[in-house]
Structure 1
Amino acid sequence: MLTDSSTPSTALPRTSGADAIVIGAGLGGLAAAMRLGAKGYRVTVIDRLDMPGGRGSSITQGGHRFDLGPTIVTVPQGLRDLWAACGRDFDQDVDLRALEAFYQIQWQDGSTFTARQSTDAMRAEVARLSPGDLPGYDKFLKDSEKRYWFGFENLGRRSMHRFADLLKVLPTFVALRADKSVYAHAASRVKDERLRFALSFHPLFIGGDPFHVTSMYILVSHLEKEFGVHYAMGGVAAIALAMAGVIQSQGGTLRLNAEVDEILLQNGRATGVRLTDGAVIAADIVVSNADAGHTYDRLLRNHRRKRWTPPKLARKRWSMGLFVWYFGTKGTRLKWPEVGHHTILVGPRYKDHIRDIFIRGRLADDMSLYVHRPSVTDPSVAPVGDDTFYALSPVPHLGIGDTDWQTEAEPYRQKMQKMLEDRLLPGLSDHLTEQLIFTPNSFQTRYLSPYGSGFSIEPRILQSAYFRPHNVSEEAKGLYLVGAGTHPGAGLPGVIASAEVLGTLVPNAPRTRAQRMAAE
């Protein structure tokens, strides 16, 4: 059942049996609700937005559907496993399309690199740019596969909340040189700076600085090779709606336009939540898909915290902010035929620009852009003959530097438009129609993201695995965390995996007397 907070605000008594509350209808929260529903819990998902999906939601404006957050699916098997755990078939609910060309990287000198699933095609791209780097690239692929099996299939799919778990894996971390950064590892294998970029930029998709994030994240290269890159028709928002459908079929409830103000504790155990309208909902367990920082700093503000205290959270390094320009164009469906679904425009600087974003907190004059053109795959995103785009630029989060987005947003958008017109979409200004801008302020107000960061806590080595907020909270019994700010981390595969980890931590719901009698 889907309800709206416009219904009268009254304290809701707890029913008999096992009830679970999930705070936040982001993809991690929805996946958690599905896992809990499959375990027999009566689940209520609460979200302040008017639709499920969180960062994976969408806004429709003037006939253009703007997918606000993630745009690709890289590990569809994780979703298929999730659906299977609920006795459902993912491919019956979601139309997933494999992309032949994943993305094209374009440099200022006119050179390009197109990523594909085929190893032969990728080796051909490497040979075209720098034939001498082929042996190093082959070694990089083997490095990537080793880290995939250890970092994704092993660590990423089990809880890392015990110190003993960390001690067990430390030797492997040392052997795989997890102390090296993603960029440093790429640089040790290939010499061409363009290839070093192509093999090291991926952490930016989960909020990490490639020059500081652990080299374990080179596993993305194998992940793309193993599973490919896909697009869900209807956008990631269509996946969120399908997830909501599964939850409702399990007897769960999505309560939208409602915001949790506090997690309630009694004798050190989570017993429910209080909404901003004063309503109280009781439960046996509480799962927070809100940002881990918001969970501990705001939702548990009236309770003593042992590990995730405000000073400790303030010392954490947070992922960068995002400036996203969503726009529609009129009559351009056949224009710019060389522009595909995903394009990365590389600016004149790499390392120094990353330092501006993550270390100096400076809004630079130059930029690199990720450009999404879903209308080449999914015509439903725009009116007939038109296009829908978004262009994304990493920027400092609100806790570093002094950027005033009230005054800087439009000048920055204009710089972005000029770069697009000069390098990718000539004549763009003649075709612009609908527009929407998200700044770090938007992430802070819409998603309650600390500092307006795009991906919660940055995935540096001492902010990953055991050192990241755990899936089972040490602050209260019966409280669990899923989503980008907890283990294993940000990105669609990560948040779906966080719910899989949750499923290993939460026992099956105890059956009611009526259920036991029916089973007998």
Structure 2
Amino acid sequence: MQNTSASSAQDPAHPAGPDGSPGDETAASPRAARARGVLRGARAPRAVVIGSGFGGLAAAVRLGVRGYDVTVVEKLDAPGGRAYVHRQDGFTFDAGPTVITAPFLLEELWQLCGRKMADDIELRPVTPFYRIRFHDGATFDYTGDAAAMRAEVARLSPGDVEGYERFVRRSEAIFRVGFEELAHVPFGSWADMARIVPDMVRLESYRTVYGLVAKHVKDDRLRQVLSFHPLLVGGNPFSTTSIYSLIAFLERNWGVHFPIGGTGALVKGLVSLIEGLGGTVRCGAEVRRISVEGGRARGVELASGERLAADVVVSNADSAWTYRHLVPPEARKRWTDRRIERQRYSMSLFVWYFGTRRQYPDVAHHTILLGPRYRPLLEDIFEKHVLADDFSLYLHRPTATDPALAPPGCDAFYVLSPVPNLLSGTHWPTAQERYRRSISALLEATVLPGLEGALASSRLLTPQDFQDRLLSFRGAAFGPEPVLTQSAFFRPHNASEDVERLYLVGAGTHPGAGLPGVLSSARVLDRVVPDASKLA
């Protein structure tokens, strides 16, 4: 998957801008100073960013540093998008992302503004990364320590230690190309895709994640341990391209972290960066449509009727929602309704946020509870679109790292169950409480005894909420499913194929979902959005 163009030869931590200059300079750097100097005495070009998820906020920071007058418009009453924060009954619940990897992508945004993230954000390493609990009660502590991981593998399946080591080496090889060389490179043409084909073949990208794992290890439980990562970005391990096996090495390389104050602290910090650059974040401002004239984005129209003119528009909204509902049909030649509907979309999520009047000190920060079925359950979710009676769960206990997220003597949690998107036809207003009780019963019987009697706070997020509240097409939680035919060039492009000066960031565009993915999508803008000096 190696791209041999001059731009991709840059260090991935220092991506080139559209003019070939370094893309990671601080606000006090020569490049930033040039941008301000060129614009002195002239109107700074305007950028409107739709949505304040991590991708949108990162894009706003980067555009602000480059001399744009940035306005972020957000439908909800507070910033964050899927990283919204719910506060109730004394508990703080992060609505979305909870696993922080590749922290340098965040630190870089502070550096661009001439600041240090450590002055605003305290990131704490989490170990184990995940405690995986099998249906029979056995556990596996997944960490970044090589010796500890070998010992865990040997305890589970002694005959697979060598195969596990081979898998780690293959994960690193994929990471070196798939993340370091390609995650920050736009795929705007067939030539971009053609250049990486030899490496895709060499790295066996035609295999699925599960297929690559199964090539190296034989034990069924270990195969599950090493293949679940695609579920963190909306993919089925049995159909997601093995490119996503890079996540295993990415976590080992930089670790898994959690910010004190929750991921909402990161949102607050990014908003402060935007405002420090002179930008604005407007909440309660839903976009009705993107204004397109002469094939070019000219701004946005809000649901209130207010119009905001812009020289460039960046959408951090769901990519399918952007094209289907925000871009006028007459302006879409590539992303027609038919093409949008024919894409394969990720699964959705059922999330139960809850607080308890007691603490569960033996529960890790991140726990994965695997159900009795692995592949058949994933087939129900992704292929059959059936809401099954059984489930596998991700349990998040942030108070294991930051007790202040709950009242004294209490614990805060959320439990997430992958479920089909709205193609399942499930009527969630009537199904949600039954499903919650089923999850609660399993948790009570396994890792959280006495749960129902200890509940102090509760709220739900269903696939219907993903569509209605978060404007995700079909309630898919991660946009297009990350199969090979919907990756890189085949994903909605960062620079819109249909509308000039419309750009996309977030889970629905290249490189994909997950916090490193959406932050990298904002990095790509440094290569495709014109420098402010050219629009002044």
CA offset digits 1:260-295 (Å, max 9, x no partner): 111111111111111011101101111010010011
Aligned pairs (5 A) from 1:140-289: 140-289=167-316
Q: Distance in 2 between matches of 1:123 and 1:441?
A: 42
What is the CA distance between 1:304 and its match in structure 2?
2.9
Answer whether contact 1:72 1:232 (CA < 8 A) is retained.
Answer: no
Residue by residue over 1:246-266, the C-alpha shift from the partner in whole angstroms, topping out at 9 and shown as x without a partner, is 000000011110111111111
Q: How far apart, in 2, do the equivalents of 1:349 and 1:301 lie?
A: 44
- Structure 1 Cα separation of the partners of residues 535 and 150 of structure 2: 59
- Residue 397 (1) aligns with residue 421 (2): yes
Asked if residue 416 in structure 1 is aligned to residue 439 in structure 2, the reply is yes
Deviations along 1:281-337, whole A, 9 cap, x unmatched? Answer: 10111101001001100101343311111100100110101001111100x23xx33
Whole-angstrom distance in 1 between the partners of 2:334 and 2:354: 43
In structure 2, distance between residues paired with 1:154 and 1:244: 29
In the alignment, does 2:43 pair up with 1:19? no
Residue of structure 2 equivalent to 1:92: 119
How do 1:118-517 and structure 2 match up within 5 A? 118-330=145-357, 332-333=358-359, 336-398=360-422, 400-510=423-533
Shift of 1:406: 1.7
> C-alpha deviations, 1:21-76, integer Å up to 9, x for none?
00001110000000000100000000011111110111101111111000011110
- Within the candidate set 83, 94, 97, 1:67 is matched to 94
Q: After the TM superposition, which segments of 4 or more aligned residues of structure 1 sit over 4 Å from their partners? A: none
Which amino acid is 1:316 matched to? Q
Percent identity of equivalent pairs: 51
Q: Is the 8 A contact 2:361 2:400 kept in 1?
A: no
5+ long unaligned stretches in structure 2: 1-41
Quote the offset at 1:179 in angstroms: 0.9
Shift of 1:421: 0.6
**Structure 2 contact 55–505 (Cα < 8 Å) conserved:** yes
Alpha carbons of structure 1 residues 239 and 408: separation in structure 2 relative to 1, 3 Å: same
Give secondary structure in 2 for the equivalent of 1:278.
Answer: coil
- Residue 508 of structure 1 and its aligned partner are, at CA, apart by 2.2
> How big is the shift at 1:142?
0.4
- TM-aligned CA deviation for residue 119 of structure 1: 0.6
Root mean square deviation, CA, Å: 1.2
Q: Residue 516 of structure 1 aligns with which residue?
A: none
- Change beyond 3 A, Cα 1:381–1:18: same
Secondary structure, counterpart of 1:286 in structure 2: strand
Give ranges in structure 1 of 5+ residues lacking alignment. Answer: 1-14, 514-520
Partner Cα separation in structure 1 for residue 480 and residue 114 of structure 2: 34
Match of 1:3 in 2: none
Q: Return the alpha-carbon distance in structure 2 between the equivalents of residues 217 and 511 of structure 1.
A: 37
Amino acid at match of 1:328: G
Residue type of the alignment partner of 1:434: S
TM (normalized to structure 1)? 0.94
Distance 1:68 1:192 in 2: 35
**Structure 2 SS opposite 1:447:** coil
Q: Report the secondary structure of 2:416's partner residue.
A: strand
CA contact (8 A) 1:208 1:319 kept: yes
Q: What residue is the counterpart of 1:5 in the other structure?
A: none
CA distance in 2, matches of 1:482, 1:471: 6
Aligned partners of 1:156 and 1:487 also within 8 Å = yes
Distance in 1 (alpha carbons) for counterparts of 2:325 and 2:420 = 23
Deviation of residue 207 (structure 1)?
A: 0.4
Give the CA deviation at 1:512: 9.8
Alignment partners' CA distance in 2, 1:460 and 1:83 = 33
**Separation (CA, whole Å) in 1 of partners of 2:169 and 2:368:** 25
Contact (CA 8 Å) 1:317, 1:457: kept in 2 or not? yes
Matches of 1:68 and 1:36, distance apart in 2: 26
When the two structures are superposed, what TM-score results if normalisation uses the length of structure 2? 0.91
Residues 84 and 94 of structure 2 are in contact (CA less than 8 Å); yes or no, is this contact kept in structure 1? yes
CA distance in 1, matches of 2:222, 2:155: 11
Residue matched to 2:38: none
What is the DSSP-based 3-state SS (H/G/I as helix, E as strand, rest coil) of the residue aligned with 2:75?
Answer: coil
**Partner SS state of residue 330, structure 2:** coil
Secondary structure at the counterpart of residue 199 of structure 1: helix
CA distance in 1, matches of 2:228, 2:143: 16
Offset at residue 16 of structure 1 (A): 3.0
Partner of 1:155, secondary structure, is coil
| 1:511 to partner: Cα distance | 8.2
Q: Which residue of 2 aligns with 1:11?
A: none
AA in 1 matched with 2:412: T
Q: State the Cα deviation string for residues 148-183 of structure 1 (Å, max 9, x = none).
A: 011111111111111100000011111111111100
Inter-partner Cα distance in structure 1 for 2:203 and 2:498:
33
Tell me the SS of whatever aligns to 1:488.
Answer: coil
CA distance in 1, matches of 2:535, 2:242: 48
The separation in 2 between residues aligned to 1:76 and 1:17, in whole angstroms, is: 31
Secondary structure, counterpart of 1:391 in structure 2 = strand
2:39 alignment counterpart: none
Residues 17 and 511, structure 1, Cα contact 8 Å, conserved in 2: no
